[in-house]
Amino acid sequence: MFVRLVYESFRRQKRRKLLAGAAITLGVTVATAMIAVATDIGDKINRELRTIGANILVTPQEDTLDVEIGGVNLKPPTDGAFLNEADLPKIKGTFWHNNITGFAPMLPVNASIESDGKAQDATLLGTYFAKQLTFGTENFTTGVRTTHPWWRVSGAWPDDNSRDVLLGERLASRLGAKPGDQIVLSNRQLHVSGILSTGSAEDDQVVAPLSLAQEILGRPGAVRRVYVSALTKPEDALARRDPKSMSGPVYDRWYCSPYPQSIAFQLAEAVPHSHAEQIRQVAQNEGAVLTRIEGLIFLITLAALFASALAVSAAMATAIFERRAEVGLMKALGAGKLAVASVFFAEASLLALLGGLLGFGAGALLARQIGQSIFNSQIEIQPVLLPVILSIAVLVTFGGSAAAIRRAVQLDPVFALRGEL
C-alpha cells in the first residue's frame, strides 16, 4: 500500500513533481559544477597566477648575515657570495618538486659595450632561457621563459649554449642596434638574437646565457640568486607560525603543506649555503585572489541550493494542499503522524535522488565547459563526488519540504474531509 501511495502521487501530480524535480536538478547542477571547479581550481588558478612571476627567491646565506659592531655595518660592499650552479638541479629533489614549475638563476656582471669607438658601462645579466637539466632520472626544462612569462622578445630567444644575447629595448635604442647585429661586449664579439622588453631594469641591460656571464666574471659555476616559481596554497594561521616553535605532528603538517614558507624552507635545505624566502607581494596577492574566488564559488553554490529549496517548498506545499482530502482519509483510517510524514518524505527522497543524478550529470558537463572556456583544460569530476551530491540533494529537498510536510501531519481529518481547509 505504501509503495502504491507513492506511485499514485507521481502519476496524478506529474506537473507538480516535474517542477519540484526541475528545481532540484537545476540547484544540484550548479552545486556540482561549483564543487567540481572548487576542488580542481586551485592548481589551475595557481598556474594562471604564475604569469605574475616567480614567488620564491633563493640567495646565498651569507647575504642574510649582518655584521655590525657598535652600530656600524662591517659587511664589505662587494657582490657578496655565490651559489653553485651544480646545486640548482637539487631544487627538483625536494618534497614539493612537482609543485615547482620552474626556476631561473641570475648573475649580474659589470661589463662594457663598445659603440662608435667608445666604451660605455652596462650590466650583463646571465640566466637560463630554456635550459635542459637532469636530476636523477627526471629530465626537465627551466629558465626565464617559465618564471618570467611577461618577458617579450622581438626576434629570437638565445640558445643557452650559444653566445647570442638579448638587448634591453632602451639599451638597444641608445645603441641603434637591432636583431642580427653584432656587438662587442668586454672584448667579446656577440650576436644580438633579439630585443627584450620587460618594463623593468632589464630594458637597460644585456641578457645572456649564464655561462657567458660566468666567463666574463671569471667565476665558473657562480650564481647570484635564483627565482623559483612554485604552486602554493594560501597562508593560514599554521603557515604564519615559526617552524622552530612547532611540535612534531604540527611541524610535520606544516612541512608537508605547500605553503610558500614551507617550500622555501625545503629549498634552503636542498641548496647548500642558501637562504630562501617568499616574494611576499606575489605570494600574498595569489592567496588573496584564491580566497576570494573560493568564497565567490561558495556563495554561488549556497544561493543556488537555497533557491532550489524555495522552489521545492512551493511545489510541495501546493501538492500537499491539493491532497488534503487524501491526508484526512489516511488519518481517519488510523494513520499516525509518522506514517503520513513517511509517505511524503519517501516522495521527496525519490525526487531528490532522481534530480541529484540528473543534476550530477548536467553539472559534470557544465564543469567541463567552464574548465575548457576559462582554463583551456578539462576539469575532472571525481566519482566520490556523486554520494556527496546526492546527500546534498536529499538535504535540500527535505529542507524545502519540511514545512509543508509538517502542516500535512497536523491536519485535522474532520475539517480535511469536509474540505474546509
Answer yes or no: do 274 and 327 share one domain. Answer: no
Answer yes or no: do 353 and 250 share one domain. Answer: no
Answer yes or no: do 239 and 135 share one domain. Answer: yes
In total, the chain counts a number of residues equal to 421
- Look up residue 74 and give its DSSP letter: -
Burial of 154 (0-12, 13-18, 19+ CB in 10 A): middle
Provide the number of structural domains found in the chain. 2
Answer yes or no: do 31 and 123 share one domain. Answer: no
Answer yes or no: do 134 and 245 share one domain. Answer: yes
Answer yes or no: do 43 and 59 share one domain. Answer: no
Answer yes or no: do 182 and 204 share one domain. Answer: yes
DSSP string, 4-54: HHHHHHHHH-HHHHHHHHHHHHHHHHHHHHHHHHHHHHHHHHHHHHGGG--
**Of the residues 219, 249, 278, which one is the last residue of a structural domain?**
278
Structural domain harbouring 200: 55-278
**Of the residues 246, 278, 310, which one is the last residue of a structural domain?**
278
- pLDDT tens, per residue, the chain with 421 residues: 555 655 556 566 667 677 778 888 888 898 888 888 777 765 566 555 555 568 899 999 876 544 444 444 444 444 458 999 999 999 998 888 888 989 999 999 999 988 666 778 889 999 999 999 999 888 999 999 988 988 999 999 999 999 999 999 999 998 888 999 999 998 889 999 999 999 889 999 999 999 999 999 999 999 999 999 888 877 778 877 888 888 888 888 898 888 888 999 999 999 999 999 888 655 555 556 667 777 788 888 888 888 888 888 887 777 776 666 666 666 665 666 666 677 777 778 888 888 889 989 898 888 888 877 776 667 777 778 888 889 988 888 888 888 777 776 666 565 555 555 4
Answer yes or no: do 24 and 170 share one domain. Answer: no
SS3 206: strand
**Of the residues 251, 278, 305, which one is the last residue of a structural domain?**
278
Answer yes or no: do 111 and 192 share one domain. Answer: yes
Give the dihedral of Cα atoms 284, 290, 293, 297; nearest 10 deg: -140
Answer yes or no: do 77 and 102 share one domain. Answer: yes
Answer yes or no: do 357 and 408 share one domain. Answer: yes
Answer yes or no: do 26 and 103 share one domain. Answer: no
This prediction has a pTM of 0.64
